[in-house]
Amino acid sequence: MNIITAYATKNDCYKAARKMKPAGIVVHSTGANNPYLKRYVDAPDEVGVNQYGNHWNNPASVMKRSVCVHSFIGYDKNGAVRVANILPYNYCCWGVGSGSKGSYNYNPAYIQFEMCEDGLTNKAYFEAVRDTAIEYCAYLCKEYGLSVDNIVSHREAHAFGYGSNHGDPDNWWKNFSYTMDMFRTAVKAKLAAQVKPAEQPKPSEDKTLYRVQTGAFSKKSNATALADKLKAAGFDTYIVQSGNLYKVQVGAYSVKANAALIEIFICETDETLSFTVKDDGKGMTADFLSRVTDPFTTTRTTRKVGLGLPLLKMEAEMTGGSFSIKSKSETEYEDHGTEVFASFNKKSIDYIPLGDIVGTLCVLISGAESVDIEFTHEMPQGKVSLSTKEMREILGDVPLSSPEVIGWVREYLTENYSLQGRA
């Protein structure tokens, strides 16, 4: 899904960072005639500017109430209906209130989202929001292993004894003869359509080999120059023409682990630091995923221990933070890949400050010519971002790994961090 991520770092629920394991989903609607995300979400570049500043990226002292949900659905600044995620899914929110048996805010803890209402008469808007909500719930169910039966409205949460006495979103949906039962049925259908049957393994004699693409050029001479360098270094190298591009590839290899895109998102406040690294590579099987934080689980052939993820998990949890990893294998899902999340309490004596992020990014870009990197670092002072896709559009055939480009990347990032008061 194309989800806007705009964490409400000033909201009390975000600052509390009370951890949860999602057990279901609560569906809300706002009860206000305002279908625009900018009313609730602080993300000017994507949703527009809230001229009054009364969005939910504020503390309770400003909002006059302590409230938060995980996401909103409504119009972005271009008039498209989208999801905006404002709270990490492993953070408890305060969205449904409480009932006689407790609250879906905490135990059991539910992911909660609000649909921005309009005047309740626009069928086209209702259908766009409904369809987006269906896709979003299917996505959440698959990501967190949630049962569709545990998707409830705010009204139902109250009836079950886990929420305050509200009537949303039924008050809106009834105008179009739509019900929560119909919604859950649609989510089930969406999930069924997304899951591919597991492919049968091929016989060993039919072994599939993969090549790794190291560059793509509009001029054959540039492709030839890179190919010559790779051949001189001992790689089996090929030039493949595809349309107007000359692609330089090396291989073949029996293991496919290549990703085309790596997304790195760092969110930092005065008290916490969290980051998410996501790729669209081949992903992990459920069995391997269940063992991946075991130090004796690794894909390495040089040694039988892999300490990266286990150490990251340990360091995060030692500070009072959290760690999670999600992955979808290419054998089961079209949208395969892996996502790693870690959060740290910066006030903890065990917190290790963020290292040389500029140098790290330079190494990543120079060492992964065929992979695009989308980097964002949000801080209280501002934001630093970099996109290799945008760089490629500007540079054309110039390799991103060239010393001149890496030098520019280093200078650009250093200058932008300095503007935010970071060395």
CATH topology (fold) of 210-253: Alpha-Beta Plaits (3.30.70)
Check residues 49 and 257 and name the one with the higher pLDDT: 49
Contact 164, 98 (CB under 8 A): yes
**Domain 3-194 -> CATH class:** alpha beta
| pLDDT score, position 334 | 76
261-419: which CATH number, 3.30.160, 3.30.565, 3.60.21, 3.30.505?
Answer: 3.30.565
CA-based nearest residue to 84, from 150, 35, 152:
35
How remote is the C-alpha of 263 from its chain's centroid? 8
Domain boundaries, the chain: 3-194, 210-253, 261-419
Name the one residue in this structure whose structure tokens are 């990226």. Answer: 57
46-79 pLDDT, tens per residue? 999 999 999 999 999 999 888 999 999 999 999 9
169-196 pLDDT, tens per residue? 999 999 999 999 999 999 999 888 875 4
Name the one residue in this structure whose structure tokens are 């879906």. Answer: 104
107-119 pLDDT, tens per residue? 899 999 999 999 9
Contact 339, 281 (CB under 8 A): no
CA-based nearest residue to 358, from 408, 308, 309, 398:
408
Averaged pLDDT for residues 249-273: 74
Q: What SS3 class is residue 372?
A: strand
pTM > 0.75: yes or no: no
To which H or E segment does residue 139 belong?
helix 123-144
